[in-house]
């Protein structure tokens, strides 16, 4: 989900006020081809008023994102390319949609990595991330002082790229 799930950031996208609060989320990550569960977790995060998603610190892959969000839904699209070895390129695409209904949300995102060029023995990959969340409090508390998680939200999101 744009606000709560693990997705790449979208530069300068302000989170709508309706998403503010403390959220408990369950995340399940599946292999797209086999539908086998690769990872699952439950965690808590805080969304503060006026929070703006920003692109994470530049890394090895430059990812360009577009998207939109309103009180009840969001959509994102991100893509980027990285030369892995001379002549071999990794192409990354992430698409995600989600909806919020009062104090709950659902999100589905797909992260696909394909390789082009001279990339022997490097398989393409695809993961589908499904997130459900429940707002446990509409009051995020002292946002500027103590986040629920030990890292800022944008850095948490960057771990899932």
**What SS3 state is found at 157?**
helix
User: What pLDDT digit, counting tens, does each position of 123-152 carry?
Assistant: 999 999 999 999 999 988 887 644 445 444
User: What pLDDT digit, counting tens, does each position of 14-67 carry?
Assistant: 778 898 999 999 999 999 999 999 999 999 988 888 776 655 555 666 788 888
Q: What is the pTM of this model?
A: 0.76
Cα separations (Å) of 146 from 5, 74, 140, 143?
Answer: 20, 27, 10, 6
Higher pLDDT, 153 or 111: 111
Rounded Cα gap, residues 80 and 55, in angstroms: 13
Q: What is the pLDDT of residue 153?
A: 47
Rounded Cα gap, residues 47 and 98, in angstroms: 16
For the chain, give every domain's residue range: 13-158
Question: 108 near 95, Cβ under 8 Å?
Answer: no
């Amino acid at each position: 989900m744009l606000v709560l799930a693990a997705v790449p950031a979208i530069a300068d996208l302000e989170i709508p006020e309706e998403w503010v609060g403390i959220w408990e989320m369950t995340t399940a990550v599946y292999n797209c081809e086999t539908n086998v569960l690769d990872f699952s977790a439950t965690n808590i995060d805080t969304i503060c008023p006026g929070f703006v998603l920003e692109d994470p610190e530049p890394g090895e892959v430059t990812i360009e994102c577009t998207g939109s969000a309103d009180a009840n839904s969001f959509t994102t699209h991100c893509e980027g390319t990285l030369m892995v070895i001379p002549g071999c390129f990794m192409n990354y695409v992430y698409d995600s949609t989600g909806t919020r209904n009062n104090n709950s949300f659902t999100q589905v995102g797909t992260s696909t990595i394909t390789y082009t060029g001279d990339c022997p023995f490097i398989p393409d990959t695809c993961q589908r991330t499904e997130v459900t969340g429940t707002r446990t409090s509409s009051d995020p508390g002292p946002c500027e002082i103590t986040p629920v998680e030990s890292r800022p939200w944008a850095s948490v999101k960057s771990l899932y790229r």
